[in-house]
């Protein structure tokens, strides 16, 4: 871990503990385990919610096709500034914004629906309406063949995923501070009306 990552993570956590969730960046073991099942050859648009200090972001770039795009969305200004300063990869777009506006951000950048959405958002401490809105927008933002990959300290996310995805695989990673539940969900359940144009965040 770069020394600067520690200070950026700690100061953003102290500023907003409920939204950041943990002061510690993800371990290499958790990053590798979470990313291993993803089919990198078929991913042309990857969206990451809450990249934080970029542990998953740079590992994903290492695995991504050279013509793919990674849209990383974070509400934390300190995280965004630090990621932008370290980014020299034209495939990475870093946005200061809210995950619930994912469909607008994809459209703003002329991108198709995502092949994969990776999230470390602390769903259990987000306001429930916001957590629901983010998961609904996520199902809309994915291709029908797309996948959601989520790591979480708690299991509160599972019923939320079940409402919007037809299939879920689950695992657990002990070697992280704190240990985390890992989820991979696919077959997003169709939304009759796209909510992407609506202001859904609270």
Residues engaged in binding ligand SAM (CB under 6 A):
12, 19-22, 25-26, 49-53, 55-56, 73-76, 79, 98-99, 120-122
Q: CB of residue 65 vs ligand SAM: minimum separation in angstroms? A: 22
Nearer to ligand SAM, 41 or 155 (CB): 155
CB of 121 to ligand SAM, least distance (A): 5
* Closer Cβ to ligand SAM, 121 or 148, answer by number: 121
Whether residue 81 contacts residue 53, with contact meaning beta carbons closer than 8 Å, is answered with no
Taking alpha carbons only, the member of 193, 188, 199 closest to residue 104 is: 199
**Angle 28-35/55-63 helices, nearest 10 degrees?**
40
Q: Which helix (H) or strand (E) holds 49?
A: strand 45-49
Residues with Cβ within 8 Å of 23's Cβ and at least 6 positions away in sequence, in order, are 9, 10, 13, 14
Nearer to ligand SAM, 22 or 44 (CB): 22
Contact yes or no for 173/56 (Cβ under 8 A):
no
Shorter beta-carbon distance to ligand SAM: residue 52 or 188 = 52
Rounded Cα distance between 175 and 10, Å, is 20
- Beta carbon of residue 6, minimum distance to ligand SAM (angstroms, whole number): 11
* Among 183, 12, 3, residue whose Cα is nearest residue 96: 12
Least spacing, CB of residue 163 vs ligand SAM, in Å: 18
Nearer of residues 21 and 188 to ligand SAM, judged by Cβ: 21
The minimum distance between CB 31 and ligand SAM, in angstroms, equals 8
Q: Which residue's CB is nearer to ligand SAM, number 125 or number 187?
A: 125
Q: Report which residue's Cβ sits closest to ligand SAM.
A: 50
CA distance 137 to 121: 14
Least Å from the CB of residue 96 to ligand SAM? 9
Cα angle for residues 186, 69, 190 (degrees, 5° grid): 30
């Amino acid at each position: 871990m770069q020394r600067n990552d520690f200070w950026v993570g700690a100061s953003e956590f102290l500023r907003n503990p409920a939204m950041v969730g943990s002061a510690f960046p993800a371990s290499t073991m958790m990053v590798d385990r979470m990313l291993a099942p993803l089919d990198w050859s078929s991913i042309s648009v990857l969206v990451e919610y809450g990249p934080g200090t970029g542990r998953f972001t740079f590992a994903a770039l290492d695995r991504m096709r050279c013509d793919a795009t990674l849209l990383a969305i974070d509400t934390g200004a300190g995280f965004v500034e630090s990621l932008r300063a370290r980014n020299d990869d034209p495939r990475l777009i870093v946005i200061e914004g809210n995950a619930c506006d994912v469909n607008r951000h994809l459209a703003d950048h002329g991108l198709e629906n995502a092949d994969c959405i990776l999230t470390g958002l602390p769903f259990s401490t987000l306001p429930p309406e916001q957590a629901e809105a983010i998961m609904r927008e996520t199902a809309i933002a994915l291709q029908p063949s797309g996948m959601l990959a989520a790591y979480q300290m708690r299991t509160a996310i599972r019923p939320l995923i079940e409402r919007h995805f037809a299939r879920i695989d689950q695992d657990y990673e002990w070697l992280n501070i704190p240990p985390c539940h890992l989820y991979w969900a696919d077959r997003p359940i169709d939304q009759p009306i796209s909510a992407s144009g609506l202001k859904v965040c609270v």
